[in-house]
Amino acid sequence: MDFTTFEAAHFLAILPEIVLIAVAALVMFMDVVQKGESRRMMGYVTAIGLMAAMFIGIGFSLPMGDPKLLFGGTIRHDMLGFVFRMMFLVAGAITALITMDVKGLGKRGDFYAVLIAAVIGMNFMAIASDLIMLYLAIETTSISAYALTGFLLNSDRSAESGLKYFLFGAVTSTVMLFGFSLLYGFTGHTNLYGIAEALGAGNVPFVTLIGIAVMILVGIGFKISAFPFHFWTPDVYEGAPTPITAFVSTASKTAGFIVLIRVFIIALSTNSGVAGWLPLMMAIAAVTTTIGNLVALAQTNIKRLLAYSSIAHAGYTLMAFVAFESQPEQSVSAATFYLMTYIATNLLAFAIIIVFARAAGSDEIKDYAGMSRRSPYLAHMMLVAFLSLAGIPPLAGFLGKFFIFKVVVDAGLYWLAIVGAINALVALYYYLIVMKVVYVDPAPEGASKISITRPYQIAMVALTISVIVLGTAATPWYNWAIAGASSLF
């Protein structure tokens, strides 16, 4: 037993997560103590706690110098993981803010505590470099998310979507776990770098490696909701409490991508396997985008529409990812940057949906008629969010798409670029249809003004600004993406 190897550096590396545990404990404590209206304060505490964790992270946990494997190789303290962790913390903080006035959730300390647990899980997904750690982190995120999805006690839909999410997720993650176990068995390592080394020796035949890759892809495909692992997405997104839909569609998906990047680029691309699964991944990228956009056209519920649109966005991110063979760093940085823009934009869209649903009690697109007259500011922000999702400059979504197209073309995947371009067009159509309803169609008789409470104001203004800033003054953020990407290799 060797306790002398405890080092300050180890703890500094995971300081944000330690802070998060403290915040969760504080929230649980408040849940017991607070009474009445002031229970809502737990949302602020969670949001501030998550932001504090972020600033503490920037202050103390910023990876300096070469990336290091810490805690016996279970985590890798590098810039890529760090960037993703910061994204999760922000997404979590925003989620806490936009939960505060949701009926049946906003005043429940247990909700915030489980939300924080999910963020902890994601943070470890971002830095895990060992199959054990990775699996555990994925499950921490997933199980917390299943619980959060079913949290609304008085909603049949919430419970149903929770169970669907649970069943789909449990099966896919078990398939992935089987893949992990084989990977461990055939290489003798659980560490991703150890696996890469062992696979490099070439003892595992091509077919087996592909089989393992497919099994692992099942689990990750579920998290990022890529075709054909996306079937749960619309149902769960529709039924879940909207803040959780926002959280799952942004942070959880992003966490899936960091795992995808780490496992497939680090562990599974060192020998002949790379040629094997890459075409599959390309096909998945193309089909995912197309299916997502096409089916979105036919939706009448805004949450389902955004669900399919989020499937399409996963496809775009995969497009960046599949270019990694010839453009490793640019591919990863393009994907990272796209995810940043996507998180900001999608959270904004969902925040708007929550505010609107509070006033109108509906998520049907037709009920959005005349929203611009009920609240011009809400409508303007929705315009910003949807145009960014559609990739219109100078908003964040455009720049994200631009880098993806660039890296795809650079890698010589012209057909994929064309698929992406055509899809961008289809997407614009259904976003515009929604905006038409918002701006053009007359409001129902007697529709009242929509009031926006303080936490939502904070969240939405911050997100609107970031959508614009990410599209114009993108330098620092893109720098982070690049630094992250280069720290991976």
Partner 1 sequence: MNTTLLIWLIPVPPLISFLLIVLFANRTKALSHSIALTSVIMSWIMSWIVVFSAFAKGYYYGENPFHSYIHWLPTGTTYLDMGVAVDNLNSILLFFVPLCIVAIFLYSIGYSNFGKPVHDHDLPGTPPHHGVDPLYSRFFAFLSLFAGAMLTLTVADNLLLLFVGWEVMGLCSYLLIGFWYGREYDDPKATPPRIAAIKAFLTTRVADVMMLLGIAYLYSQAGTLNFHDIFFNEELMYDLTHNPSMIAGFTVANLIGLLLFIGTVGKSAQFPLHVWLPDAMEGPTPVSAMIHAAAMVSAGIYMIIRMFPIISAGGSHGPNPTMEIITFIGAFTALFGATIAIAQYDVKRVLAYSTISQLGFMVAALGMGAYVAATFHLMTHAFFKALLFMGSGSIIHGVEHGMHDVHEHIDPQDMRNMGGLKSRMPITYWTFLIGGLALSGFPFVTAGFWSKDEILGDAWAHHHYIVFTVLCIAAFLTAYYTMRQISLTFYGEPRTKSAEHAHENNWTMTLPLVVLSFFAIFAGFIGVHGEFPVLGQLFGNNPFEHWLVGALPKDMQPKPFTFTWFPVIMSIAVALGGLLVGYLVYGRNPLKSADQVDPVKKLLGPLWTMLENKYYVDEFYYAAFVKPAHWIGETLTFKIIDRGIIDGIIHFVASFFWKAGVGSAAVEQVAVDAPPDRMADGVRWTGDAMKYIQTGRIQNYLMYTVIAIALIGVLFGFLVAG
Partner 2 sequence: MSGSQIAFLIISALTVYSALMVVTGRNLVRSALWLVMTLFMVAAVFTTLDAGFMAVVQIVVYIGAIAILILFAVMLTRKVMNDTEPQTNDNWWMAVIVSVVIFVGMVFMVSGVSLPARPASDVSNQIVDLGNAFVSPNQFILPFEVASVLLIAALIGGIAIAMPREEEG
Partner 3 sequence: MIPLEWYLILSSVLFCVGLYGVLARRNAIAIMMCLELMMTSITINLVAFWRYGNVANLSGQVFAVIVFAVAAAEATVGLALAISIYRNRDTVVANDLNLLKW
Separation of alpha carbons 212 and 113, rounded Å: 35
* Contact between residue 266 and residue 81 where contact means Cβ atoms under 8 Å apart: no
The verdict on 213 binding partner 2 (CB under 8 A) reads no
Q: If binding means CB under 8 A, how many residues of this protein chain bind partner 1? A: 61
- Which helix (H) or strand (E) segment holds residue 481: the answer is helix 475-488
Q: Is 128 helix (H, G, I), strand (E, B) or coil?
A: strand
Is the link from the previous residue into 394 a cis peptide, with omega within 30 of 0?
yes
Residue whose CB is less far from partner 1, 55 or 231: 231
As a whole number of angstroms, the distance between CA 363 and CA 357 comes to: 6
CA 145/CA 165 separation, integer angstroms: 9
**Span interacting with partner 1, options 101-109, 138-146, 259-267, 385-393, rule CB under 8 A:** 385-393
The three-state secondary structure class of 191 is strand
Q: What are phi and psi of 194, to 5 degrees?
A: -65, -40
Q: What is the DSSP string of 50-70?
A: HHHHHHHIIIII---SS-EEE
Q: Which stretch binds partner 1 (CB under 8 A): 56-64, 84-92, 229-237, 360-368?
A: 229-237
Sequence-ordered list of residues with C-beta below 8 angstroms from that of 446, at least 6 positions apart, any chain: none
Stretch that binds partner 3, among 23-31, 186-194, 285-293, 404-412 (CB under 8 A): 186-194
Give min distance, CB of 60 to partner 1, in A. 26
421 binds partner 1 (CB under 8 A): yes
Among 56, 177, 274, 426, binds partner 3 (CB under 8 A): 177
Q: Which amino acid is located at 30 in the chain?
A: M
Q: Which of 70, 478, 487, 488 binds partner 1 (CB under 8 A)?
A: 478
Q: Which of partner 3, partner 1, partner 2, none sits in contact with 482, Cβ below 5 to 8 A by type?
A: partner 1
Q: Which of 15, 48, 56, 170 binds partner 3 (CB under 8 A)?
A: 170
Contact 148/69 with Cβ under 8 angstroms? Answer: no
As measured in angstroms, the least distance from the Cβ of 214 to partner 1 is: 6
Partner whose footprint covers residue 5, from partner 3, partner 2, partner 1, none (CB < 5 to 8 Å by kind): partner 2
Number of Cβ within 10 Å of residue 96's Cβ equals: 30
72 counts as binding partner 2 under rule CB under 8 A:
yes
Q: From partner 3, partner 1, partner 2, none, which one binds at residue 2 (CB under 5 to 8 Å depending on kind)? A: partner 2
Q: Determine the length of the chain.
A: 489
* Cβ within 8 Å of residue 296, ≥6 positions away: 305, 308, 309, 312, 427, 430
Partner touching 107 among partner 3, partner 2, partner 1, none, CB below 5 to 8 Å by kind: partner 2
Q: Give the gyration radius of the chain's Cα atoms.
A: 21
For CA atoms 214, 328, 477, 285, give the dihedral sign. Answer: negative
Q: Does 135 bind partner 3 (CB under 8 A)?
A: yes
Amino acid letter, 275:
A
Q: Which stretch binds partner 3 (CB under 8 A): 25-33, 77-85, 127-135, 319-327?
A: 127-135
- For residue 181, the partner it binds in partner 3, partner 2, partner 1, none, with Cβ less than 5 to 8 A by kind, is partner 3
Q: Could you say whether residue 104 binds partner 2 (CB under 8 A)?
A: yes
For residue 444, give the DSSP letter: P
Q: Which residues pair with 76 in a beta bridge?
A: 69
Q: Which residue has the tokens 């993108």?
A: 474
Q: Where are the alpha helices (DSSP H) in 361-413?
A: 371-374, 376-390, 396-410
In the region spanning residues 229 to 248, those forming contacts with partner 3, defined by CB under 8 A, are 234-236, 238-239
Nearer to partner 2, 124 or 257 (CB): 124
Residue 410 interacting entry, from partner 1, partner 3, partner 2, none, C-beta within 5 to 8 Å by type: partner 1
Q: What is the 8-class DSSP label of residue 68?
A: E
322 makes contact with partner 1 (CB under 8 A) = no
CA-closest candidate to residue 428, choices 365, 372, 386: 386
Helix (H, G, I), strand (E, B) or coil at 23: helix
Site string (128-167) toward partner 2, x via CB under 8 A: --x-xx--xx-xx--xx-xxx-xx-xx----x--x-----
Q: Looking at 114-122, 357-365, 407-415, 464-472, which segment touches partner 2 (CB under 8 A)?
A: 114-122
Q: How far is the CB of 135 from partner 3 (least distance, A)?
A: 7
Binding region for partner 2 (CB under 8 A): 1-3, 5-7, 10, 14, 21, 28, 71-72, 74-75, 103-104, 107-108, 110-111, 113-114, 117-118, 120-121, 124, 130, 132-133, 136-137, 139-140, 143-144, 146-148, 150-151, 153-154, 159, 162, 182, 186, 203-205, 207-208, 211-212
